[in-house]
Structure 1
Amino acid sequence: MSEKKKPSVWEGFKAFLMRGNVVDLAVAVVIGAAFTNIVNSVVKGIINPLVGAIGTQSLDSYSSCLSETCEGEEGIQILWGSVLGATLQFVITAAVVYFLMVLPMSKYLARQEARRKAREGTQEVIEVTELEVLKEIRDALVAQRGSGHSER
């Protein structure tokens, strides 16, 4: 009977971390927590002033009026500046997360997979080579027996 080797706690933890859904969850948490302030600062400190060079300093003030007058709370306003700001913030967040987290993790996992396949390929070559050596030994023994019988 062969005993199954029980995986170590470290191996189980490593397998848990390398599951796709755990990595996706970690990326989502990082998007929500760590990069929010950075992205907000980039949008408010760089993007808004660049857009503001054309008009105002804040995208939130960009709007269009659908009624004849839009003073104060009166009239129907389309606040497209807020939508544009949120869209830019999303694009910047997605780019930061992709280039700083998703892409490096994908490359790391691809390297790990390539190493695993290389190890499996090496194991197959070793097994084939051992098989060939054993066949050669067998053939040599058969040849020796054959030549030994003919001399007697």
Structure 2
Amino acid sequence: MIKGFKEFILRGNVIDLAVAVVIGAAFTAVVNSIVSSIINPLIEIFWKPAEDGTIGFPVQGFWGEVVFPVGDLLNAVIAFLAVALVVYFVFVHPMNVMKQRAAAKAGIDKEPQESQLPTEQEILVQIRDLLQQQQSGTAPKP
């Protein structure tokens, strides 16, 4: 059980995932700071903040004015897109390029070329030949 856990932990993708999570969490603080100091003032140009600083659409309700916090939603969306963009271009894309280069260096094709794949007719001929060999009792040819 411990051996299996050790193999799981030492896999490259688990370590890469852990690094991406830590860097993503650290970068989230930077993005939140940028959004609150640059994006929020830009949003406030178009929407007047409520008394409590919430940016959104004020609607008169039964017991007074209610503000739908559109600013919070925009902040969350922008922060998510920024973090996802950085994680993709800093971690995922370079890792994929490295894997492709390593596979090309090793001479491994990800997918066989269409010319290398047998056609449906060739597969059916092979099946027929194997069935005939089984019925006649001869050993199949390699």
Give the 3-state SS of the residue equivalent to 1:53 in structure 2.
helix
Does the Cα contact within 8 Å between 2:44 and 2:55 map onto a contact in 1?
Answer: no
> Is 1:36 paired with 2:36?
no
Partner of 2:40: 48
Q: Stretches of 4+ moved more than 6 A in 1?
A: none
Report the Cα distance in structure 1 between the residues aligned to 2:32 and 2:55, rounded to whole angstroms: 17
TM-score normalised to structure 2 length: 0.55
Q: How does 1:64-83 map to 2 (within 5 A)?
A: 64-65=58-59, 67-68=61-62, 69-70=64-65, 76-83=66-73
Give the 3-state SS of the residue equivalent to 2:90 in structure 1.
helix
> Is 1:93 paired with 2:93?
no
Report the Cα distance in structure 1 between the residues aligned to 2:82 and 2:68, rounded to whole angstroms: 24
Q: What's the offset of the Cα at 1:47?
A: 1.8
Partner of 1:112: 102
**Distance of aligned partners of 1:66 and 1:88 in 2 relative to their CA distance in 1, 3 Å threshold:** farther
Give the 3-state SS of the residue equivalent to 1:65 in structure 2.
strand
**Which structure has the highest helix share of the two?**
1
Report the Cα distance in structure 1 between the residues aligned to 2:17 and 2:71, rounded to whole angstroms: 31
Q: 1:21 aligns with which of 10, 14, 28?
A: 14
Larger Rg: 1
Moved more, 46-55 or 88-97: 46-55
Q: CA RMSD in A?
A: 3.1
Partner of 1:140: none
- Counting aligned pairs with the same residue, the percent is 28
Moved more, 81-90 or 109-118: 109-118
Partner of 1:138: none
Moved more, 90-99 or 109-118: 109-118
Q: What's the offset of the Cα at 1:56?
A: 4.2
Report the Cα distance in structure 1 between the residues aligned to 2:60 and 2:21, rounded to whole angstroms: 38
Q: What's the offset of the Cα at 1:106?
A: 1.5
Q: What's the offset of the Cα at 1:66?
A: 6.0
TM-score normalised to structure 1 length: 0.52
